[in-house]
Amino acid sequence: MAADRRRARVLRGTPAEHGFSFPAEWAPHEGTWFSWPRPEGISFPDRYHTVPKALARILTEIAARERVHLNVPNGNYERIVSEQLTAYGCPLRNVRFHRIPTNECWCRDHGPAFVLRPRRGGRREAAIVDWGFNAWGGKYPPWDADDAVPTRVAGELGLPVFAPRLVMEGGAVDFNGRGTVLTTTSCLLNRNRNPGLRKADVERYLKDYYGQQHVVWLGEGIAGDDTDGHVDDLARFVSESVIVTGVEDDPDDPNYEVLRDNRRRLARARDQDGRPFTIVELPMPAAVVHQGERLPATYVNFYFVNGALLVPTYRDRRHDRRAIEILQRVLPDRRVIGIDCTEIIWGLGAIHCLSQQQPAW
């Protein structure tokens, strides 16, 4: 990792001080970053053989609209993954491989956080924030390769980096592109991330290193979520003023009270200018259980790509259809595409958890 830091210039100060900010996910992309899972990894015990086909479907939809950047450990993996993608119908012409090893595949959390600032002539310049990563509170060692990914990417792209001494995961935060960040107390105030930091301290880091003005806090996460409550399983911005949130209708479901509490918090929330948000409710899918374990299935783990929205589905015909219809009404200018993530959710994540956008600049 030291060699990568020599290649990537580390900037002093904070992104906010330099005029950088984190754009909304729906802003135009240059591409999307992924880290290919390893069979010997811990994410898909006894089910890895089902995952490449599901990943190929996701990558096919993205590669038709923007470049796919794919982290693999070495040339052998590149050949194997190329053969798998081709076998499952994913063209390789818009897929770029990077020899960047990772421990696991959850690029949303270990991947580069791109921040942008305007330049003369309407162009922008980019930098990467290299947050600390400790595998969701030290749950899944080792994580040294994952922690090194942002600086390795910065070195490959020739971008400078900011290096806050704070553990942060991309799935823990969501942005409206106007200065508001959405997050949860259960994750970012958890002692297994940044012990000793108060809520005000965490807010200052969010504002300084993401270039934001305002923080909206939700509460607890859904059943089966091993991240201690990532917001990308609960509620997401779909525009600067509209938030989509999951709701559960069954009072006996363990997610019922959690999602009701977060819905109440959203009703009270205000944006960076003091205005209320428009809240759109999404159903939750029927419980997805594997080997007796409740999995964190949610439609909120969707991902914006150029011209489309990719939505995880779970072979729940009624709720899958309803969620897609709601999102299509909210986003009439995008094509909303459902992708079966029943196999992927065994790794306790879905489309958003796997991906990290690289904005255009």
What are the catalytic residues? 353
Name the 3-class secondary structure at 251: coil
Q: Are 278 and 243 in contact (CB under 8 A)?
A: yes
Q: What would the two tokens of residue 232 be? A: 């990308």
Terminal Cα-to-Cα distance of the chain (whole angstroms)? 27
Q: What is the CA radius of gyration of the chain?
A: 19
Strand partners, 175: 181
For the sheet containing 161-162, what is the strand order? 113-118, 124-129, 161-162
Which of these, 262, 170, 176, lies nearest to 221 by C-alpha position?
262
Q: In angstroms, rounded to a whole number, what is the distance separating the alpha carbons of residues 206 and 181?
A: 8
In terms of phi and psi (left: phi > 0; alpha: psi -120 to 50; beta: otherwise), the region of 202 is alpha
Q: In angstroms, rounded to a whole number, what is the distance separating the alpha carbons of residues 310 and 322?
A: 15
Q: In angstroms, rounded to a whole number, what is the distance separating the alpha carbons of residues 23 and 2?
A: 29
